[in-house]
């Protein structure tokens, strides 16, 4: 093939290569996200935590704990997954909504597995197992038997809440709907080229929501 013909074809291809390459670069620079997916499975409601977080620079606020294995309460944007750690631990200051849509008020999940996480938007606090290492995978869940999304007042799917960890660019997001097969809450990067290229509240727990188990910050 003559050199001048090859050069012309390369110029035509360059815009097609630039856009996917930019997408891949932005993927590499993207900040980490912890995602909570709330969905129905087998006649139960499941809250599944997945993703990762870089806690470098995060602002510590106070100490506390969930106090139960699994929780979901709309009025306080309160979510717990995994096995409760059993003693107060440092909590991270976050910024975001203080309530979630719906009327969920579920405590002591029928089962809870994986890494402990604790979100309470009402007080702008987030907690995670103190053994967690930044950027490691976060996998945890809480299952509430016999519940439905409709019964909890969740009438639409999609993103219902998003928080930022103070002092970082890391995010926490809550979705109604099951995670994608890959476990990601958002579509993955597009391929560069190729044939497939295409564009019952207990009294004790009520008190816990009104004033969670937190201790004042040290002076």
Q: Among 18, 31, 10, 17, which residue's Cα sits nearest to residue 163?
A: 31
Question: In this predicted model, what pLDDT tens digit does every residue of 171-188 receive, in sequence order?
Answer: 999 999 998 775 444 433
For the record, the structure tokens of 174 come out as 């809550």
Beta strand extents in 24-182 (DSSP E only): 33-41, 44-51, 60-65, 71-73, 78-81, 89-95, 105-107, 111-114, 117-120, 125-128, 138-145, 158-165, 171-176
Tens of pLDDT along the chain (219 residues) come to 554 444 455 455 444 434 433 433 334 445 689 999 999 999 999 999 999 999 999 999 999 999 999 999 999 999 999 999 999 999 999 999 999 999 999 999 999 999 999 999 999 999 999 999 999 999 999 999 999 999 999 999 999 999 999 999 999 999 999 987 754 444 333 333 333 333 333 344 444 444 444 433 443
Question: In this predicted model, what pLDDT tens digit does every residue of 188-206 receive, in sequence order?
Answer: 333 333 333 333 333 444 4
């Amino acid at each position: 093939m003559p050199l001048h013909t090859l050069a012309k074809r390369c110029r035509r291809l360059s815009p097609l290569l630039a856009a996917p390459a930019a997408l891949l670069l932005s993927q590499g620079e993207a900040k980490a996200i912890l995602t909570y997916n709330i969905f129905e499975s087998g006649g139960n409601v499941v809250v599944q935590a997945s993703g990762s977080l870089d806690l470098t620079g995060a602002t510590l606020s106070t100490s506390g704990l969930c106090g139960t294995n699994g929780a979901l309460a709309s009025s306080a944007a309160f979510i717990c997954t995994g096995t409760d750690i059993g003693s107060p631990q440092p909590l991270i200051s976050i910024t975001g909504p203080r309530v979630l849509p719906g009327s969920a008020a579920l405590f002591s999940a029928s089962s809870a597995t994986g890494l402990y996480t604790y979100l309470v938007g009402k007080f702008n606090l987030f907690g995670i197992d103190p053994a967690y290492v930044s950027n490691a995978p976060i996998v945890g869940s809480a299952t509430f038997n016999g519940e439905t999304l409709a019964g909890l007042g969740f009438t639409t799917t999609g993103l219902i809440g998003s928080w930022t960890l103070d002092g970082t660019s890391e995010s926490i997001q809550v979705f109604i709907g099951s995670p994608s097969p890959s476990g990601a809450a958002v579509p993955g990067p597009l391929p560069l080229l190729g044939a497939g290229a295409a564009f019952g509240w207990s009294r004790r727990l009520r008190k816990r929501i009104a004033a969670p188990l937190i201790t004042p910050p040290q002076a």
